[in-house]
Structures are given as structure tokens and as C-alpha cells.
Amino acid sequence: MAIVDGEEVPRDAYLRWLGDVRGRQARDEFVSMWLLEREARRLGVTVTNQEIDAARVALFDKWIRERLRGDAGALDAELERQGHDLESFSNWFQWQKRRELLSARVLQQNRTIDEPALRRRFEQRYGPGGVRTQVRVLVLTRARLAQELAREPEGRGLGAAELDRLLMQRAEALRDRALAGEKFEDLTRAQSNDLAVRKDGGVLADEQWRLRGAAFVRGAESAPLSVVQPPVANSSGVDLYEVLSRETTDFEAVRGVLAKEMAGEPPTLDELSALDERLRAAARIEYP
């Protein structure tokens, strides 16, 4: 294991010490790795040293770029901070990366994608029923209107019902301007009370418009394209909107692509734990 003053320190003695000091944790971890290697051989799953070397180089490049601000000369000090030199880290990484890649490939080879999971991914990617709808919304809030009116003597002390009536009037006036020819995107950037929405011209990403209430959703799902719709009241104010586009995707047309994508995804912690438990349950493990 080492040579001290010319005298060899036996590896067997070190291994006995390691087992006594680390105990069951180290033993079980090694057995798990051994079982994984056996399962990989059974399935014909392999990992090459070239893959592991490339992953280590990529990791070092990332550290140099992100942690060390481009200073490659600081890498040795970073490794030392972690209790390693280049050789010891490479040896550690060899084991860790090999186990990571073998686990992923064993799981991916046996992974079953059920129909409900495939449907969920389809709707996440392509929208409910495969219809992805893009909407532009102009947001008017009761709170902003109350702030504006509080600066005016006649606006102080208005109740919620009166505020809602005034807010609806403002929304109708903005819709009339849009129907008369003003560009709705320009109105949104200038008049919307939601700054995040205003920044993007009112276009909501990832179908976030579905979070704006049942009435909004019902209207947006059937509204004609590029026509500003009547105001929709909600718990905080009023929305004006137009549907910009609808794109429909057939489930069967993308089923194979989605299934392949899901089968090849990195394993979750739950999957890794279940794999270890399955391999252990299938083996007869004895400790002399």
C-alpha cells in the first residue's frame, strides 16, 4: 500500500484496517458495486476508460471555468482542498463515474415507460390534448387602480365593487382601442399592471395563462386567433387577452420519440435505490 523508510506497508493490512474502521458502510458499498458489475456483465452493458477519462477532463474544464475563473494552475490547490492530488482524485473518479454510468445504462436498458407517464410527458410538452396555445394578456389589477385613485380626492375610500366597475370600464376602453386598430402588444407594454408580463409584451410562456382562472381558460381555448377578447374578471382584477396561435400535435406521431427520450433519461435517486435493493434481494449474501 505504501513504502515507509524502505519498508513495505502491506495492502492486506490496510484493507483489514479499512474494514474495521469503516465497518459495514464500506463493505456494503463495495458489495453493491460488485453486484452492479455482475448485472452489467449479464446484460452486456459496458463502460470504457475513454468515456470516464473524457468525463473527468470535462469536469476539470468546468471547475477551471466556473470555480477557478479560468486559472488552470489553481487546479492542484482545488484538489488538495478536497483531500486529493491528481492521481488520487482520478482513482476516486474512476470508481464513482463507472458506477454512475453502469447504473444508468442498466436502468435504461430495463426501464419500462407506462402509458400514463407517456401521456403526462406528451401534455407537458405539447399542451392538454396535444394543443399548445400561445396567448398575449394585458393585466389590470384592483390594487394598482386603488393606488392611482388614492392620489385623487374623489377616489379615496372607494369600495371593491366600485373599483371593479371602474376597472372593467378601463379594460373595455382598451379593448375598443385595440379593435379600432391600435396594436395590442403596444397597449400591453404601456398599460399592463404586471411588469413581468409587460416586459415580454404580454406573451405568457409555457401556457401560464391556464393559471388565470377557469373563465379565462374556457375563453382562450375557443377564442378566434388575433382578436382581443372581452375583459375577464378574476380575484385580483381584470384581464384582456388575444390568442396568438394554436398548434396541434398528434400523440401517435410523437409517441416513439417521447418513449425513447424518457427511456434514455438519467435515473432518479429512487430508481438507483430500487436497483440496489433489487440486486441485493436477488442475491444470497454471506459475510464470513
In a domain, 25, yes or no: yes
**Do both 150 and 97 map to the same domain?**
no
In a domain, 68, yes or no: yes
In a domain, 286, yes or no: no
In a domain, 259, yes or no: no
* Region of poorest pLDDT, from 155-159, 181-185, 226-230, 254-258: 155-159
**Do both 148 and 232 map to the same domain?**
yes
pLDDT tens profile 7-56: 998 988 888 887 788 777 888 888 999 999 999 999 999 999 999 999 99
In a domain, 253, yes or no: no
The range of the structural domain enclosing residue 34 comes to 11-111+264-281
pLDDT of residue 230: 96
**145 neighbors 170 (Cβ within 8 angstroms):** yes
- Cell readout for 118 is 407517456
What CATH number should be reported for the domain holding residue 214? 3.10.50.40
Percentage of the chain beyond pLDDT 90 is 71
pLDDT of residue 155: 54
**Do both 145 and 218 map to the same domain?**
yes
The rounded Cα 58 to chain-centroid distance in angstroms is 22
Q: How many Å apart are CA 50 and CA 56, to the nearest integer? A: 10
Average pLDDT over residues 258-276: 92
pLDDT of residue 244: 95
Percentage of the chain beyond pLDDT 70 is 98
Q: How many Å apart are CA 161 and CA 250, to the nearest integer? A: 45
**Mean pLDDT for the chain?**
91
pTM score: 0.61
**Do both 239 and 125 map to the same domain?**
yes
In a domain, 106, yes or no: yes
**Do both 176 and 238 map to the same domain?**
yes
Length of the chain: 288
**Do both 124 and 241 map to the same domain?**
yes
Q: How confident is the model at residue 157 (pLDDT cuts 50, 70, 90)?
A: low
Average pLDDT over residues 166-184: 95
pLDDT tens profile 117-155: 999 999 988 988 999 999 999 999 998 888 888 777 665
pLDDT tens profile 212-256: 999 999 999 999 999 999 999 998 999 999 999 999 999 999 999
**Do both 135 and 69 map to the same domain?**
no
Domain count, the chain: 2
Q: Which residue has the higher pLDDT, 206 or 89?
A: 89
Task: Look at residue 288 and tell me whether its pLDDT is greater than 80.
Answer: no
